[in-house]
Amino acid sequence: MNIKYVIAHAAWSKGRKQGLSRVLEMVPEAHVLSSRRPEHASTWATRLWDWCAEQDADYVVTLNDDILPHPKLQAIVPAIVEAVGPRLLSMFSHNPFAKTLRAAGHHFYKCYWLTGPIYGASPREFGAMRDWVDAAPRTLIRHINEDNYGIHYAWDRQEPIWTTIPGLATHDTDIPSTLGYDNHPNRNSHVPFAECNADLTEPSYWRIDGEPPYAPNPWMSDGAMAGIRRMIKGNLEVCEMCTLEPAIVKTSNVALGQKCIDGCAKHLTDIRRAAAIKGGQRG
């Protein structure tokens, strides 16, 4: 089985050079795609997915440069693909429901949530995700991250993303997050591989009859995903403040929806009122 690995490397960020060296020690043949300066996901993630889509491979796995992969990762991934096929797969048990599902004996769950530390798909699937990004409104794409791209891509197809139990990597939390997520409760796997004694290199561990259980996304509701899908299908620009409603006012710098316009207007009125009261007290 031909499996390619690629590491997204934030070369400009503190600790990432050492993190990259450690990941390469464990996955030495991995390709490295570097960002020399801070870049939005609309730049670095699409470059990453373009590379993945171009590979002559059965499967491609993306890794971040701030993770600690399972020591047997390169033996585990082929076992998973053999068991369930080259599906879009998150390999980081980031959903809090994962603990309960593991206790019930499950080795996968499905969820509308893709997270960046480690995930995989076929080159064809990466190409389809890239096509989705190209077709989506720029007012949405430039204000969300690549995990959101994956979420909305999956929702558009009504195909939840399968996630492994346990996760196949952990975050090195000594390396600062490039997005300010250092203390985020879901930054690390809720079922780390260190807690699993099974032989994950055996396809039998990953074989499943039917579908895995569904776990809801704890921070993005079905209604929010459905609303965004309707806007995309309707070729509507998206409010860049909340990304949850159509934009009705657009300038060269920003596009805003009605609720956010009303909220900004109220906030400005409150500031002016407070300033007037303060000025009157001084008088």
Q: Residue 282 has what pLDDT?
A: 54
Q: Are both 156 and 278 inside the same structural domain?
A: no
Question: How far apart are the two ends of the chain, measured CA to CA in Å?
Answer: 80
Q: Render pLDDT for 236-282 as a digit per residue (tens, 0 to 9).
A: 888 888 888 888 888 877 888 899 888 888 888 888 887 777 666 65
Q: Render pLDDT for 110-127 as a digit per residue (tens, 0 to 9).
A: 999 998 899 999 999 999
Cα–Cα dist 269/120, whole Å: 49
Q: Are both 254 and 213 inside the same structural domain?
A: no
Chain position carrying tokens 């699937």: 125
**What pTM value is reported for the model?**
0.89
Bridge-based pairing of strands 161-164 and 89-90 is parallel
Q: Are both 265 and 149 inside the same structural domain?
A: no
Cα–Cα dist 188/150, whole Å: 19
> Which domain CATH number covers 189?
3.90.550
Q: Is residue 270 part of a domain?
A: yes
Q: Residue 183 has what pLDDT?
A: 79
Q: Is residue 235 part of a domain?
A: no
Q: Are both 274 and 162 inside the same structural domain?
A: no
**Which phi and psi angles does 20 have, rounded to 5°?**
-60, -45
Q: Are both 212 and 259 inside the same structural domain?
A: no
- Across-strand partners of 171? 67
Q: Are both 199 and 82 inside the same structural domain?
A: yes
Q: Are both 74 and 148 inside the same structural domain?
A: yes
What secondary structure does DSSP assign to the chain, as a single string? --EEEEEEEETTSTTHHHHHHHHHHHSTT-EEEEESS---HHHHHHHHHHHHHT--SSEEEEEETTEEE-TTHHHHHHHHHHHH-S--EE-S--STTHHHHHHTT-SEEEES---TTEEEE-HHHHHHHHHHHHHS-HHHHTTS-HHHHHHHHHHHHT-PEEEESS-SEEE-TTSPPTTS-TT-TTSS-SS-GGG--S-TTSHHHH--SS-PPB---SSS-HHHHHHHHHHHHTT--B-TTTSSSB--EE-SS-EE-HHHHHHHHHHHHHHHHHHHHHHHHH-
Paired tokens of 242: 């909340």
The whole domain housing 270 covers 249-282
Q: Are both 202 and 264 inside the same structural domain?
A: no
Q: Are both 11 and 151 inside the same structural domain?
A: yes
| Domain end position, chosen among 219, 236, 261 | 219
Q: What share of the chain has pLDDT > 90, as a percent?
A: 75
Q: Are both 47 and 92 inside the same structural domain?
A: yes
| Domain end position, chosen among 165, 198, 219 | 219
Q: Residue 180 has what pLDDT?
A: 79
Q: Is residue 84 part of a domain?
A: yes
Cα–Cα dist 217/47, whole Å: 27
Cα–Cα dist 55/2, whole Å: 10
| Domain end position, chosen among 178, 201, 219 | 219
Q: Identify the segments of the chain with pLDDT beneath 70.
A: 278-283
Q: Is residue 229 part of a domain?
A: no
Q: Are both 266 and 132 inside the same structural domain?
A: no
**Long-range contacts of range 208-214, CB-CB < 8 Å, 24 or more positions apart?**
208/83, 208/84, 208/107, 208/108, 211/110, 212/106, 212/107, 212/108, 212/109, 212/110, 212/162, 213/101, 213/104, 213/106, 213/109, 213/110, 214/109, 214/110, 214/111, 214/160
Number of domains in the chain: 2
Q: Is residue 49 part of a domain?
A: yes
Q: Is residue 242 part of a domain?
A: no
Q: Is residue 228 part of a domain?
A: no
Q: Are both 140 and 32 inside the same structural domain?
A: yes
Q: Is residue 95 part of a domain?
A: yes
